[in-house]
Amino acid sequence: MVSAVFHSPRGDDDEVLAPAVPAPLAAGPARKPGAKPQPAHSRPGFDWHGLWMKLLPPVLGLALMTGLWALFTLKTSSGIPTPAATWDSAVQLFADPFYRRGPNDQGIGWNILASLQRVALGFGLAAAVGIPLGFVIGRFEFIGRMVSPLISLLKPVSPLAWLPIGLLVFKSANPAAIWTIFICSIWPMVVNTAVGVQRVPQDYLNVARVLKLSEWKVITRILLPAVLPYILTGVRLSVGTAWLVIVAAEMLTGGVGIGFWVWDEWNNLNVAHIIIAIFVIGIVGLLLEWLLMSVARRFSFED
């Protein structure tokens, strides 16, 4: 084995084998007498400021709303319960959310589950129809020009206008509510998917044409990955619309559901339960939004 030995021009081997480190770096910074040595690499500390800025503004907003609510109930005789009375009613209500005392007297848990089931069916049908329809509209210009006026005409129609059509066709309240969710939540998915397909770069399609890919492979290998963020945006908007529609539909159709529960409590003049239902509807909608935002973030190309 050959080993390389470097000799000093002056013939002093000890000086040559010493690491060639600049003197200030090798010696380190000057330290005051009695001072503790500092670690070479300090870990970044916990971001208390970021956590503070995330928690404090929402807490202050809720406190402000509760304060205004308490002030309003103290100064007026509107019949609206105070925050403390509403909280007591909520504690009693959620002590047993899944009781059954007849077809029209069930716990709030059963009503929420019934509404979620209708939303899942109506929204699932809308996704099954709306996303492929958006692909077709965005892919073929002739069909897009043919269908776009109909979408522009039907999209702004109120859900309450679609409900009688559902009752007339299906002769039952539950399918009519699902139909109303379907027809109101389909448009964001159709429009967003079609816009996403139309914005796919033409170079991608030219490559597919050169490679003579089939239409199925163009959709699954090129269009779908490129359009996925648009689809998820449409899905997120649609599920919010579906959750808004179900409350109005159930108020009119009756049965079991959070919308019917709100109307039933109004007939009983139980305003505290109505306020609780408003918070429950908002929290469930917020959770659905958060869930879909997490899915969209998971599949986003920006990450």
- pLDDT band at residue 27 using 50, 70 and 90 as cut-offs: very low
Q: Is pLDDT above 90 for 285? A: no
Contact 233, 192 (CB under 8 A): yes
| Cα–Cα distance measured from residue 235 to residue 72, given in angstroms and rounded to the nearest whole number | 38
Of the listed ranges 8-22, 90-104, 167-181, 214-228, the one predicted with least confidence: 8-22
Residues 6+ apart with CB under 8 A from 279: 90
pTM of the predicted protein model: 0.73
pLDDT tens column, 109-128 = 999 999 999 999 999 999 99
pLDDT of residue 43: 62
pLDDT of residue 205: 84
pLDDT of residue 278: 92
Q: Is pLDDT above 50 for 187? A: yes
Q: Give the Å distances, CA to CA, from 216 to 85, 130, 144, 227.
A: 60, 18, 19, 15
pLDDT tens column, 228-268 = 888 888 988 898 888 888 888 888 887 788 888 898 888 88
pLDDT of residue 301: 58
